[in-house]
Structure 1
Amino acid sequence: MLLVSTTLISVTAQARVPYDSRHAPPHPVSRHATPATAAPAKATTPAAAHKPPAGIQAARGEDVSVIGGMRTANGVTNTTPGGGLMARQTLARSQSTVTRDFIAKQAPTGNAIAMISALPGVISASTDPLGQSNTAMSIRGLQQAEIGFVYEGIPLNDSINYTPYTQAMVDTDNIQSVTVAQGAPDIGAPVYNDVGGLVTVALRGPQDHRGGMVDFSFGSKSLQREYIRYDTGEIGHSGVKAFASFSSTTNDQWRGSGVFKKYHVDSKLIKNWGEGSSAGLTFSYDNWQQGNYRPVTLTQWEQYGTSFNYTKEYFPGNTNWIGLQQYQRRSTVLIAPIKLKLSRSTTLDITPAYMNYSEFYFGGVNIKNQGSYFGNQAIPDLNLPYQTNGVMTASSINPVPQKTGFLNAALTWKAGTNTFRAGYIYSYIALEEPIYYAPVGYDGGIANRYSKYMVTLPDGREYRTLDMNFKHQMNEIFIDDELKLLGGRLTLDAGLRYLMITRWATNLIPGVTHYNVGGSYSQPLPQVSASYQITPNDQIYIDGTTSYRAPASVQVYGEVFSTSSPNPASKQSSLKGEYAIGEEIGYRHYSTVNVALSLFNYNITNNQITSSQYINGIPLPSPIEAGGKTSRGAQGEIGLRPWHHWSPYVSAQYLHATTDNNIIKGNDLLPTRGKRAVQSPEFSAAVGISYDDGSVFGNFAFNYVSSQYSTIMNDEKIPGYETANITLGYRMRKLWFAEHPQFQLNVVNIGAKNYLSGFQSISTNAQPTQGIRGTTIAGSSPLYLSAGGVAAIASLSTGF
């Protein structure tokens, strides 16, 4: 029996403990590391999740693994293969999970998307190595807005543009696991954009015993971060336990000028009673402020590299001053999950939630005192202050406050080898989205951006170029049935969900094409799957799924005007929903060496490529209708269980994704049929190795991503790139009152390579192109995210 450290406990072979991603990994012995359940799905007791399928016996005499956990303050148990990157899966779909064994050893400033960048098919791009800013990711060539994100039973994505603000929802220190379903979505997932798969973030919930943890981090760009968490343990014999945490982060911007500030609170209270009943309350608050990073064209990147930034100094007319280029977001989330064991065979899960998101996008624009427009109406004289040659510099302000009411309910009934589930999901969203302007003084002073002294019209009304009121209502019902045959070796599953969405909006700007506009979307979405347990360690599976995404962005329903033109800068267009049919076939083997392989194929209609455009200094979504798309390929991962304290991991994916038809541009067609799809690297791979003997620990991760096209015509692309990160640390057992204090050093992008990591915008063609009907179609340059530079973060943490 191999011992991982002197604190490990020897138990049975890991092959006898199947891991179901719907539950946390096997329970460690540390009082600080009791895992919490992950995303909601078919109800299965934790004990059942630790047993092999009925009728399957573990191989005789097999005693090759230690899965008992080591004691740590931050939840590391050193039980997950691949250093925490390859938790065991049993569901009939391609799926990968990272656990605390990996998450706790990454930079504490990171986010859930950064944590999964080594998994097969996942491409993660960021504008800074600290992982703090908005990210841009893809899975199997499908964009971030096509991927569903779930946290504690609620959707993580922005309600309208589908951006997953993972860093605003939960601190990395409180994440128990992150699970990626690369293609097939969970039929009961409470999202309506999961064409490209599903990412589930599980909270590290209240621990069984009283205690806590503190972490202090310092690093590059004057980084300072403080984190503290307190767990009550079970209060008396009430069955009630809770935790609360607070973190504060400040640092200078990675490129150019500006600062980053973030304050975050996580907490959860849960009450357990009877055999499997519980009620809880999860609360999250986040206050995030930062200067924007300036996107670049390929020409600008080749000429200036990372020095192409917003400026530190202001002068009248300088709309690229960092003081104007800001972003702020405040999030408040309340989740109240309830689980009722109605009988031995029936369970009811209900999760109501309320989300309040307050976003502010800031930019800069020069407004003419005479010759400006309010919608399609010319303004004779705006009587602007701080004019220079008849022009005033203004701060463009785009608040996007969203209020969401949400309900997720499911009833599960078990009868012998059959499990039936039925559910209902509801959400209601309300937001008012204006764009207005505040004068900028000669010295750069900006009037109150949130209330008074805005630019006004001659009649006293506030001057706006967007004035939208938006409502959204979703109803979804689903049924699902799972049948186990052949002594539990064969599992068959079939389900159907029916999605119904209604949206309506009004825009008060004069000259809009439609004052009142909206859309209704409904779609039945069947799924089928089958898996067969060949041996206790070997499984094959196949699945067929359908998925759907309603159009992204309120700009689909409303038009935004420029200050300098009577015509809309963005035209309202009624887009259809995106629909996909997918198939997967896969094989898994779990033993000393763990292997997962799969082949996949997707056919997508009404493919909508997420892009953006700048209007009056504000980045606004601008979807591109790209018709049909085919995506097929192969992926795999290999991970070793801890062996002499070492755990290597390798993942890779080959992808062939193409555009299936020519794209309409004006009165012509671009010859895009058969072109490689944008943001779809042909090859990606990751290599990692982890070491942990209970005291000394560390890991190394290397990622490679091949080139990616940024235009549908394939006339511009970003080159392939490599990144590498390293972690080194030392952990003690006990020092006075400190439980397992440790020092950790994270070095991100150790090669300090500067590279283009992703896309701010996509275009149909970068160069002038002759259409099929002979018209010369003008090109437009895509905008890219610039990354690079080495970051070092030193952390001192301890439990108490």
Structure 2
Amino acid sequence: MPRSTAFAGLALLTLAVIPAIAHAAPAKDHEKPRHRNSIPPKTIAPVTGPGEPEEVSVRGGIRSANGVTNTTPGGGLMARQTKAGAQSAITRDFIAKQAPTSNAIAMISALPGVISASTDPLGQSSTAMSIRGLQQAEIGFVYEGIPINDSINYTPYVQAMVDTDNIQSVTVAQGAPDIGAPVYNDVGGLVTIGLRGPLDRRGGTASLSYGSKSLEREFIRYDTGEIGHSGIKGFASFSSTTNDQWRGSGDFRKFHVDSKLIRNWGEGSSAGLTFSYDNWQQANYRPMTLAQWKQYGNSFNYDKTYSPGNTNWVGLRQYQRRSTVLIAPVKLRLSHELTLDVTPAYMNYSEFYFGGVSIANKGSYFGNQPITNFNLPDQINGRTTALSINPVPQKTGFLNTALSWHRGHNTARLGYIYNYIALEEPIYYAPVDRQGNIANYYNKYTISLPGGRQYRTLDMNFVHQMNEIFIEDTLNLLDDKLVLEAGLRYLMITRAATNLIPGVTRYRVGASYAQPLPQVSASYQITPHDQIYIDGTTAYRAPASVQVYGEVFSTSSPIPASQQRSLKGEYSIGEEIGYRHYSLVNISVSLFNYNITNNQITSSQYINGIPLPSPIEAGGKTSRGIQGEIGLRPWHHWSPYVSAQYLHATTDNNIAVAGDLLPTRGKRAVQSPAFSAALGLSYDDGTIFGNFLFSYVGSQYATIMNDEKIPAYETANITLGYRLRQLWFANHPQLQLNVVNLGAKNYLSGFQSISNNAKPTKGIYGTTIAGSSPLYLSAGGIAAIASLTTGF
């Protein structure tokens, strides 16, 4: 189908909307902006968390086609917070000025405690992150009231959920998440993505972007305004993105649809329907060891052309993902005191991981059964090159409910959350001929056993059910200056899996997890500008990874390449104390402490050319430190911002390896830089705008023994733009230039895999434990993206 046809067809398929956001103090007359694109001071409140909107003081604002108002302190990096716990948020004032190809994880990297790693400066590929030294798989992600982490490995596919153009805000709760958050892996905090609401009037936005690596992106959004006199509003958007891969060969292609319908009635009642569709395909980037990085740098890539027997050809190293999401939030004001929130959802995710492998015609195995003669096609010296195929189709049903009762100074909340996931995950193979043509695996032309059965090295059926109940009470005292909160959530998870490969340790395996999780907090508003808070929290994460429930075999061994393991859930106890000040200069600082038991470090291993999650049991962990941020309210159109964190995170136990103990007690925790910081500067007078962001990340250990690490690195991004008021039919058209990774420095940005020790190490009892090299993600190179955006 031609792109123009798909563009028009998909753009008109669906509609969407979210309520407009918050309120703030009016500006004094002498503080009103004087430029032609200014608007009168008004009430604005960006979404800053999963509960009620937080207030943000503003001083006037500007008009723009993409939602920028220039009202948030720090150039959109420091929206006001009131929660009794560390929390930060970015708004449209920052989001809209970033590269349109970026994603939510990349955009929050300037917030205190957040470390984000990417494999390309365009922000297209999967990203990895940590908060306060806790890994991405330990962080909950919520969008429109539903969890968006992968059900097994907890990877958040934020790029596939919503276009950057439609994100109103991203809120990071570095410590204690909302007690009713519908996630079960949030020991490291919670990231909440808020959808950008529609215009009250009919209109829309269109944008064209071109840039480095043949980047081409089109985006269009149409807002209905109120449809007739029905009270229904909505929007629909469509985007198309293509570009060459940043390193090596291959390309990236993505089509995306966002939409929502909503109807408000009465005093606070509403019903909506949100729809999201994403089709994402890309060539993978090749991870590398430290030695390979030092020798080859960014030239260490998958091969551009195929030669017979080459399993490192980029054509075999691909990733595809298709997602369809339906969310139907309903809010009912049952009485003046009683409110019911119900959010049912259905998610259908279809992933394909691909790799390359060489299979022997004689001497291969089906599980633990030897194969006498495979009768493989296109053999070279008795072996056939094959495409490894790992489809991961997930179907998820979800329900999130909460009943709130407000009376006098007291608010009580009672909730129930249910999540059901069904997954059938195989690994099978398609032959590759001497010219590099891959058999059509969609039509089931795959390698088969001599009896005709499809050859597989994993054949798992997996079912997950989560039930959670929570209760919370909030008491406001002393003219609402003192707020006391206490709550309890009880989490219950049941998982069951079967594996049809002969030779598995157990055909049927499962586990159940149950954990009570109490929280308490208190905050006091000292003055209208100053607040202090303290909190104590608990959190839990059920074990991640397919290796806990199913065994994956290699083609060349009767022994499973990954073993079934009984792992306990990860449990944390955290405390925070903090202070906030909001005025012309805004300050937020907090001290924190975590104690974690059954810490599970997320890593990965390659089996038959496919990267599969592989958890490391690391015992106990202590993480403590201080974080802070300072942002200036827009002053003469300027808004500077600074954030920083000092972190001291350590492993508390010696780790059992190979019948011995590695002396890891007291070592620095992996992926936990001691110091990180960001400096931002924004300018926007309604016509000329721009911002600059500099980030520093200290060195990070890649091994629990602390015998290998990646060096500290710095990055810098800049945005320049010019905005008009009106040009013919175009409302507030603007030209924006984003330059990412200014200076074009290549660096190791993060981790593909973690290891216990990189070098041979003597254990506590004298055993020499062999080392294993971690694998790293490489980033770098300068990217430039020019965008033309207009309202209509």
TM-score category (smaller protein): over 0.9
Cα shift readout 1:695-714 (whole Å, capped 9, x = no counterpart): 00000000000000000000
Matched with 2:33 is 4
- 1:209 deviates by 1.0
Establish whether residue 287 from structure 1 lines up as the match of residue 279 from structure 2. yes
Matched with 1:167 is 159
Matched with 1:193 is 185
Query: The residue matched to 2:558 in structure 1 has which SS?
Result: coil
Query: The residue matched to 1:610 in structure 2 has which SS?
Result: strand
After superposition, where does 1:264-275 map in structure 2 within 5 Å? 264-275=256-267
Match 2:68 to one of 73, 76, 79: 76
Establish whether residue 646 from structure 1 lines up as the match of residue 675 from structure 2. no
- 1:450 deviates by 2.2
Query: The residue matched to 1:623 in structure 2 has which SS?
Result: strand
Distance 1:10 1:214, change over 3 A: closer
Gaps in structure 1 of 5+ consecutive residues? 18-24, 27-34, 52-64
- Partners of 1:66 and 1:443 lie apart in 2 by 63
Cα shift readout 1:409-437 (whole Å, capped 9, x = no counterpart): 00000000100000000000000000000
User: Does the CA-based 8 Å contact 2:432-2:439 persist in structure 1?
Assistant: yes
User: Does the CA-based 8 Å contact 1:277-1:340 persist in structure 2?
Assistant: yes
Matched with 2:194 is 202
Query: The residue matched to 1:730 in structure 2 has which SS?
Result: strand
- Partners of 2:741 and 2:445 lie apart in 1 by 45
Matched with 2:580 is 588
- 1:10 deviates by 5.2
User: Does the CA-based 8 Å contact 2:58-2:72 persist in structure 1?
Assistant: no
- 1:50 deviates by 5.1
- Partners of 1:399 and 1:4 lie apart in 2 by 55
- 1:5 deviates by 4.1
After superposition, where does 1:734-745 map in structure 2 within 5 Å? 734-745=726-737
Establish whether residue 369 from structure 1 lines up as the match of residue 361 from structure 2. yes
- Partners of 2:402 and 2:303 lie apart in 1 by 53
User: Does the CA-based 8 Å contact 1:242-1:268 persist in structure 2?
Assistant: yes
Establish whether residue 88 from structure 1 lines up as the match of residue 80 from structure 2. yes
- Partners of 2:204 and 2:101 lie apart in 1 by 19
Matched with 1:452 is 444
Cα shift readout 1:669-711 (whole Å, capped 9, x = no counterpart): 0000000000000000000000000000000000000000000
- 1:487 deviates by 0.9
- 1:451 deviates by 3.0
Match 1:785 to one of 763, 777, 781: 777
**TM-score normalized by structure 1?**
0.94
- 1:317 deviates by 1.3
Match 1:301 to one of 285, 288, 293: 293
Matched with 2:765 is 773
Report how many aligned residue pairs link the two structures: 762
Establish whether residue 110 from structure 1 lines up as the match of residue 140 from structure 2. no
Matched with 1:597 is 589
Match 1:219 to one of 183, 187, 211: 211
Cα shift readout 1:512-555 (whole Å, capped 9, x = no counterpart): 00100011000000000000000000000000000000001122
Matched with 1:488 is 480
User: Does the CA-based 8 Å contact 1:4-1:66 persist in structure 2?
Assistant: no
User: Does the CA-based 8 Å contact 1:10-1:66 persist in structure 2?
Assistant: no
Establish whether residue 755 from structure 1 lines up as the match of residue 784 from structure 2. no
Distance 1:38 1:653, change over 3 A: closer
Matched with 2:232 is 240
- Partners of 1:153 and 1:673 lie apart in 2 by 39
Establish whether residue 556 from structure 1 lines up as the match of residue 548 from structure 2. yes
The one-letter amino acid of 2:506's match is H
Match 1:337 to one of 314, 319, 329: 329
Establish whether residue 348 from structure 1 lines up as the match of residue 377 from structure 2. no
Matched with 1:717 is 709
Query: The residue matched to 2:532 in structure 1 has which SS?
Result: strand
- Partners of 1:512 and 1:5 lie apart in 2 by 72
Cα shift readout 1:176-214 (whole Å, capped 9, x = no counterpart): 000000011110000000000000000002221110000
- 1:3 deviates by 3.0
User: Does the CA-based 8 Å contact 1:609-1:624 persist in structure 2?
Assistant: yes
Matched with 2:20 is none
Query: The residue matched to 1:117 in structure 2 has which SS?
Result: helix
The one-letter amino acid of 1:77's match is T
Establish whether residue 249 from structure 1 lines up as the match of residue 279 from structure 2. no
Matched with 2:25 is none
Cα shift readout 1:440-468 (whole Å, capped 9, x = no counterpart): 01000000122322100010000000000
- 1:2 deviates by 2.1
Query: The residue matched to 1:450 in structure 2 has which SS?
Result: helix
**TM-score normalized by structure 2?**
0.95
Query: The residue matched to 2:110 in structure 1 has which SS?
Result: coil
The one-letter amino acid of 1:594's match is N
Matched with 2:605 is 613
Establish whether residue 730 from structure 1 lines up as the match of residue 711 from structure 2. no
- Partners of 1:38 and 1:745 lie apart in 2 by 28
- 1:349 deviates by 0.3
- Partners of 1:567 and 1:736 lie apart in 2 by 70
- 1:4 deviates by 3.0
The one-letter amino acid of 1:4's match is P
**Identity across the alignment (%):** 81
Establish whether residue 415 from structure 1 lines up as the match of residue 415 from structure 2. no
- 1:40 deviates by 4.0
- Partners of 1:118 and 1:94 lie apart in 2 by 15
- Partners of 1:76 and 1:514 lie apart in 2 by 56
Cα shift readout 1:711-748 (whole Å, capped 9, x = no counterpart): 00000000000000000000000111100000000000
The Cα RMSD (Å) is: 1.1
Matched with 2:14 is none
Matched with 2:563 is 571
User: Does the CA-based 8 Å contact 2:59-2:634 persist in structure 1?
Assistant: no
Establish whether residue 316 from structure 1 lines up as the match of residue 305 from structure 2. no
Distance 1:66 1:138, change over 3 A: closer
- Partners of 2:546 and 2:33 lie apart in 1 by 53
Query: The residue matched to 2:236 in structure 1 has which SS?
Result: strand
The one-letter amino acid of 1:287's match is N
Distance 1:596 1:145, change over 3 A: same
Query: The residue matched to 1:611 in structure 2 has which SS?
Result: strand
Cα shift readout 1:375-400 (whole Å, capped 9, x = no counterpart): 00000000000000100000000000
Cα shift readout 1:294-340 (whole Å, capped 9, x = no counterpart): 00000000000000000011111110000000000000000000000
